Amino acid sequence: MDDDWICGRLGEDEPWMLGAVNPPVFENSLFTFASAEELGEAIMNEDERYVYWRGTNPTVDLLQRKLAALERGERAKCFGSGMGAISATISSLVSAGDHVLVLGAVYGPTTQFLRYLEKFGVTHTHVDDLAECAGAIRAETRVLYFESPSYMAYAVVDVAEVAGWAREHGLVSVMDNTWSTPLFQKPLTMGVDLVVHSLSKYIGGHSDLVGGVVAGSAELIRPLALTEYQLYGAAMSPHDAAKAIKGLRTLPVRMAAHQERGLAVAGFLAGHPRVRAVNHPGLPSHPGHALALRQMSGFSSLFSFELDTESRQDVGRFLDKLRHFRIGVSWGGFESLVNAPALTVEESVRATMGVPTGLVRLSVGLEPADVLIKDLGLALEGLSA
């Protein structure tokens, strides 16, 4: 099925839509039944039947169907945040005494959650590359978790190779695919077991919702939906689901524009004398560019670059001189954003992560590329002064 059709029309011509152009938002917290027997059957299958908002909802369910189809998965489950999806997914796969193997740099709160699990007897180990996995795996290892491109560094991982290694060793592979969106990369087709996303980023696309999703086989999604989803209470609201559905309608067009503008800005920075390195997989100079071309069909506009400085003051001064890039967290919306770990992350933590002082992260939005390039050029000139 064509991705553009999935984004724009899948499930939107069914009788319950009543011909509405926009999917109805079901605001009710509960659903009633014609008999006690029907209620009992519904509760036994609350991951698929409409009983109570905390289980599922027709508006949310439509979004789940679209996202599962985009990822080429059997099922998807949406959550009230990306961390809701990540924490529920990991929790569903481990018990006390188990071990999680983390490959490469991953989203900071994911690492924080893994540390939180230590008080329940679940341990984890970070490794830099697949070659180190053999020495880090244990008899109690259950999960291999990774991102590609990786967090902050945007290193590219051979997804099929990692998924194959995990399968050979009896591990469930979980990959965060937020950077690429399901349009530009489909990990499930390369052997990954479960894929997670923050819907707050490109899929929502307008910085007006917080949400998350996990997609994969029905065998893995159903127990997660019946247990962790229900007990953790990180339910997605129907209003946020409706916003995400609207975001999907324009996702193919927006991602093409993000890619174009992001590459233009990255190319400018790659040639600037005050920039040491640009970490964008779409640039031919990126070490993982050839691999990215093989397993991805496009590139988003989130990347990092390193200023030619060891001074936190220089980094702060650079950010303050920008006028069109707004200073803030998150990414994936219309607006261009800038952030710098040196200003927000403790130095000891950055050293552990291998993040240099001069690292700056850009989320290139949908403003004209020439305006953004001029903005960066002026700020870089100010850094030289």
Which long-range contacts (C-beta less than 8 Å, at least 24 apart) are formed by 334-337?
334/205, 334/206, 334/207, 334/365, 334/366, 334/367, 335/207, 335/365, 335/367, 336/362, 336/363, 336/364, 336/365, 336/367, 336/372, 337/362, 337/363, 337/365
Could you confirm whether 186 is annotated as catalytic? no
Q: How far apart are CA 249 and CA 228, in angstroms?
A: 30
Q: How far apart are CA 261 and CA 131, in angstroms?
A: 35
Q: Six-digit token pair at 197?
A: 């996303």
H or E element in which residue 113 lies: helix 108-116
Could you confirm whether 54 is annotated as catalytic? yes
Q: Six-digit token pair at 343?
A: 């200003």
Four-CA torsion 190, 191, 192, 194, nearest 10 degrees: 110
Given the residues 50, 107, 145, 154, the one annotated as active site: 107
Q: How far apart are CA 270 and CA 276, in angstroms?
A: 8
Could you confirm whether 49 is annotated as catalytic? no
Given the residues 77, 201, 254, 361, the one annotated as active site: 201
Could you confirm whether 229 is annotated as catalytic? no
Q: CA-CA distances (angstroms) from residue 78 to 83, 191, 240? A: 11, 21, 10
- Please state whether beta strands 123-127 and 99-103 pair in parallel, antiparallel, or not at all (unpaired): parallel
- Please state whether beta strands 302-307 and 359-363 pair in parallel, antiparallel, or not at all (unpaired): antiparallel
Given the residues 176, 193, 240, 314, the one annotated as active site: 176
Q: CA-CA distances (angstroms) from residue 212 to 12, 36, 54, 134? A: 21, 34, 15, 31
**Catalytic (active-site) positions:** 54, 107, 176, 201
